Amino acid sequence: MAAGVALEALDVPIEPTLRLFSAIVFVSLASLATIQAWVGWFRTEKAIRVQQPLRGPGIGSLLTAGTLVGIAAIALGFAWSL
């Protein structure tokens, strides 16, 4: 979330369209991670109560891929602004 806000709040020398795209990607990923944490907490509480095995988060690869897309857009934005 901080990366997305910082990209728009600070005067970063990146091509504006790619800067906005990266900011949206990072804020969206942070929101998705927050929702997953909330849902995961409820699932964990339920699994503990009924003595079932705990499940993994399941969206780790999506968060990783999204972060790489955001970083690539920033790198491309720096290259275009030079």
| Token reading at 56 | 């993994």
Please enumerate in sequence order all residues whose Cβ is within 8 A of that of 15, keeping only pairs 6 or more positions apart, or say none: 76, 77, 80, 81
What residue numbers bound the domain in which 9 lies?
Answer: 2-81
Torsions phi, psi for 53 (to 5 deg): -65, 150
Work out the number of other CB atoms within 10 angstroms of the CB of residue 50: 7
Burial class (CB in 10 A: 0-12, 13-18, 19+), 17: exposed
Query: Residue written as tokens 């970063």?
Result: 12
Mean pLDDT by 10 residues, the chain (82 residues): 93 91 96 92 93 86 95 93 78
Q: How many domains does the chain have?
A: 1
